[in-house]
Amino acid sequence: MNKKLRQLTATIACLSCTSAIDAADIFEVTATTTDLLPLLQTTVGSSDIIPLINQASSAQGAFAPFALRAYSANLSYAGVPNAMNIAFNAAGTTATLTSPLTGLSVTFAGANRTVLQSQIEDYLKNSGSAEYGRMMNIINARSLVSVTDGNPGSSTASIANQAFRELADMPRRHSHAGMSPDLDSNWALSADAEYTTANPKGFNVDTFSLPIRASLGVGEIAGINITVPLSWSKIKADGGSGSATVWRGGVNIGIPIHIMNSSGRGDWGWKVAPIGGVNFVGSEDMGTGGMLLHGGIGNAVSYDFDRFRLMVLSQCSYHTSMSFSLGGYDFDPGVNSMILKNGLRASIPISRSWALEPYATYTTFLDSAAIDQYITLGIDGFYFFGGRGGNPPKHLGHLRAGAYTDLADDYTSFSFRVGAGWHF
């Protein structure tokens, strides 16, 4: 990755911007001559930003006809056209880098292209890295497949969704169905395997996730959840020639505090849960990545009816990013957003060992986002196994299978997950 990042900063001189367009490929560079000779223009697409920029800035490959011409090159980044622009003179001794997204405009001069690339590298290594972060922040607000923020498949949305799921894991206490409260366990371990296919307008995204969670209870008052979310995504433009890969991982913590514990029918339950964590996201293909920090608070109120439990949930989380250094370069995706989630979830016991939990969630990005709001509809099925005595018996663990969909303008997704948990 170090080599690719160095190539990116040395050749990123080829980029410019305005509003979102339908993608023919994840990245497209359009080179256009700017001299008085006959007009020459070509557009080349790719799923890997670095080799594409390398070719355009060095006038090689499909851009070879521009080698002795004055020309400019514009980058369309994940559906956001003209993300950056650079204009070269015919001799390759001057270059002007601009970005309408951020207002960036800087000119470099050198004896040849090699000197220009060195100057651009030094610029991006220092103050220019902040400009790149500002550009990515604006792309988050415009691209339906931005890696870090601004859409249901982004890192911030995934982090908020995982915390919200844990908030919904209220103690399932239905004495008439033989379910015992989860809090009776000192600690528990669970894991889910999930597959998601999403269809943002002009793109297709496949994601595989494996969140692993350890929970430790402190009596019936409080506990701590530690989750390690791992995921891998492939992003492809409709009609594109390849796909870009995205990796995610981190450590998230929730501290559920049970203010009221329901004892059964006609009783209320209430808990609050401070949340926080650090996550890392990276994509060499998309030339982005960073360290994401978040914190927030969740609130869940439940009521036990005769045949089911109804939960009303809400959560507000703040997400930001910090730069990280790799090979002497600083990268920051420029994340600065708040996400609000509100939902309803019912827990319906079918027997002493089976339960269904349908749910609906409304999510809002409170800051600029490509998709500022979306609805989630889903259902989970549980099978509780084992028994350790007691009335009702305390289950040793559970199996889970579920499906859900995210719905928004220009965005749909479907997810299926299976998992298991063990109570100790």
Q: What is the DSSP string of 101-146?
A: TTTEEEEEE-SSHHHHHHHHHHHHHTTHHHHHHHHHHHHHTT-TT-
Domains of the chain: 2-125 (no CATH), 155-423 (2.40.128.130)
Mapping DSSP to helix (H, G, I), strand (E, B) and coil, where does residue 285 land? Answer: coil
Phi, psi at 353, each rounded to 5°: -125, -10
Q: 193 and 173 in contact (C-beta within 8 Å)?
A: no
Q: 120 and 114 in contact (C-beta within 8 Å)?
A: no
Q: What is the Cα–Cα distance from 60 to 57, expressed in whole angstroms?
A: 8
Q: Please report the sign of the dihedral spanned by the C-alpha atoms of residue 219, residue 220, residue 221, residue 227.
A: positive
Cβ neighbors of 51 (< 8 A, separation 6 or more) are: none
Cβ neighbors of 216 (< 8 A, separation 6 or more) are: 186, 187, 223, 224
Phi, psi at 93, each rounded to 5°: -110, -10
The maximal CA–CA distance of the chain, rounded, in angstroms, is 89
Tokens 């001057």 correspond to what residue?
94
Tally Cβ neighbours within 10 Å of residue 19. Answer: 9
Would you state the pLDDT for residue 14?
A: 39
Would you state the pLDDT for residue 298?
A: 96
Would you state the pLDDT for residue 181?
A: 43
The pLDDT profile of the chain, 424 residues, written as one tens digit per residue, is: 444 444 444 444 333 333 344 447 999 999 999 999 999 999 999 999 878 887 888 888 899 999 899 999 999 999 999 898 989 999 888 989 888 898 889 998 988 777 777 777 677 666 677 788 888 889 989 999 999 999 999 999 999 999 999 888 754 433 333 343 444 456 889 999 999 999 999 999 999 999 999 988 776 788 899 999 999 999 999 988 789 999 999 999 999 998 887 766 678 889 999 999 999 998 888 888 889 999 999 999 999 888 889 999 999 999 999 877 655 556 678 899 999 999 999 999 998 889 999 999 999 999 999 999 999 999 999 998 876 555 555 678 889 999 999 999 999 999 999 999 988 7
Tally Cβ neighbours within 10 Å of residue 320. Answer: 17
Cβ neighbors of 200 (< 8 A, separation 6 or more) are: 144, 145, 151, 153, 410, 411
Q: Give the CA distances from residue 315 to residues 7, 336, 347, 380, in Å, rounded to whole numbers and listed in that order.
A: 41, 17, 19, 20
End-to-end Cα separation, the chain, in angstroms: 41
Q: What is the Cα–Cα distance from 310 to 304, expressed in whole angstroms?
A: 7
**Residue 315: which of 345, 292, 335 has the closest Cα?**
345
Structure token digits, residue 102: 């951020």
**Residue 215: which of 151, 146, 169, 179 has the closest Cα?**
169
Q: Please report the sign of the dihedral spanned by the C-alpha atoms of residue 59, residue 69, residue 119, residue 121.
A: negative
Q: Is the peptide bond before 392 cis (omega within 30 degrees of 0)?
A: yes
**Type of residue numbered 21:** I
